[in-house]
């Protein structure tokens, strides 16, 4: 059943049916209701492919994520898809893998699928290879980066101020009387990981001075096993550690297990802070104090910007910063 069939049964023009289907003005209320009843009666479904040929839009938004297993980022993806769906947009989600070449290939794939806009989930997309791919494959389409930014005219970024947030985590540990601090981080290739480390070092200097020792374990596998192994090594090498900050909640969960197995008690002997404010923070034991890097708020902001851009009201602000907050629970 096409709009021409509906138009014939309603005794109106195809353009009138099209206006009703697309919720456009120009059809009197009585005729509109008549057309709507026929559309419902015959289970009319708009042909989006045909519509796209006319409007030059598929109402399709691409989302690239390096590792679909990342619970924290998939929470953001879920929020984005929910908001876009409510406005009539479909999403195409692609897992790129953890290499820059794979991420760049993901950009090319999205161009082949003719998406109207592209969302990149995470600071790992903030690299020269991805930037080259955007210039080559999507120079005229809007691109949005979660917790990252690339200096291109069609790119907008929503960034969490994790550097300042980690500094505040050190402040909190200092207020709790902790003096021998350890930082455990995942892949330092990520810009956000390097930024967090800088925040940790700045917090150490601000609270304790330049001469206070601290301990850093980098490029740890981003899972509980990685956090467990790094914490066990840290406790063996520096048994006086009394405060730990992990770059991800999942690492902190592994660290908590290692601390328990060492016979120490959290937070009596060691305080622990994670980053992400993910479900791991609420479900682990004891409940984890975590830096909320605003994944939901960032997702809402990006979704709003995508919709505004595609509907003709693009924002002139290309980079926005969201401030983090510490969600204090039982480990501090």
Taking only the tens place, the pLDDT of each residue in 95-122 is 999 899 999 999 999 999 999 999 999 9
Token pair for residue 110? 């999205």
Domain locations along the chain: 3-46, 58-160+295-322, 162-292
Statement: the pTM of the whole predicted model exceeds 0.85: no
CATH class of 58-160+295-322: alpha beta
CATH no., domain 3-46 = 1.10.260.40
Give the burial class of 268: count Cβ atoms within 10 A of its Cβ; 0-12 exposed, 13-18 middle, 19 or more buried.
exposed
Which pLDDT value is given to residue 195? Answer: 93
Closest CA relative to residue 250, chosen from 286, 216, 226, 234: 226
Q: How many angstroms separate the Cα of 69 from the Cα of each of 216, 222, 279? A: 26, 11, 14
Contacts of 184 (CB under 8 A, 6+ apart): 216, 217, 220, 227, 230, 231, 234, 244, 245, 246, 247, 251, 252, 255
Give the pLDDT mean for 265-279. 96
Contacts of 218 (CB under 8 A, 6+ apart): 185, 188, 197
CA distance 150 to 241: 38
pLDDT band at 57 (very low <50, low <70, confident <90, very high): low
CA distance 276 to 227: 15
Would the CATH topology of 58-160+295-322 be identical to that of 162-292? yes
CATH no., domain 162-292 = 3.40.50.2300
């Amino acid at each position: 059943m096409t709009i021409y069939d509906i138009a014939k049964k309603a005794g109106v023009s195809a353009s009138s049916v099209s206006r009703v289907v697309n919720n456009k003005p120009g059809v009197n209320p009585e005729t509109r209701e008549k057309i709507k009843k026929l559309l419902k009666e015959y289970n009319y479904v708009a042909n989006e492919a045909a519509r796209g040929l006319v409007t030059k839009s598929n109402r399709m938004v691409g989302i690239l994520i390096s590792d679909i297993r990342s619970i924290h980022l998939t929470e953001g993806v879920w929020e984005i898809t929910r908001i876009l769906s409510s406005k009539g947009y479909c999403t195409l989600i692609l897992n790129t893998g953890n290499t820059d070449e794979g991420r760049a290939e993901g950009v090319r794939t999205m161009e082949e699928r003719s998406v109207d806009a592209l969302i990149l989930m995470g600071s790992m997309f903030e690299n020269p290879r991805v930037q080259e791919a955007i210039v080559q494959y999507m120079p005229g389409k809007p691109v949005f980066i979660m917790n990252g930014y690339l200096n291109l005219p069609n790119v907008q970024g929503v960034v969490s101020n994790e550097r300042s947030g980690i500094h505040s985590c050190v402040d909190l540990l200092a207020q709790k009387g902790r003096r021998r601090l350890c930082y455990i981080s995942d892949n330092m290739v990520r810009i956000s990981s390097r930024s967090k480390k800088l925040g940790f070092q700045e917090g150490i200097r601000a609270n304790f001075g330049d001469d206070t020792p601290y301990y850093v374990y980098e490029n740890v596998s981003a899972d509980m096993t990685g956090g467990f192994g790094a914490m066990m090594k840290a406790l063996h090498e520096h048994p006086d550690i009394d405060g730990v900050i992990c770059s991800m909640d999942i690492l902190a969960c592994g660290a908590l297990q290692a601390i328990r197995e060492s016979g120490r008690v959290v937070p009596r002997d060691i305080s622990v802070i994670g980053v992400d404010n993910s479900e791991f923070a609420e479900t682990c034991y004891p409940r984890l104090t975590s830096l909320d890097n605003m994944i939901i708020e960032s997702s809402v902001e990006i979704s709003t910007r995508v919709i505004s851009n595609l509907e003709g009201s693009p924002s002139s602000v290309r980079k926005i910063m969201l401030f983090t907050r510490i969600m204090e629970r039982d480990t501090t």
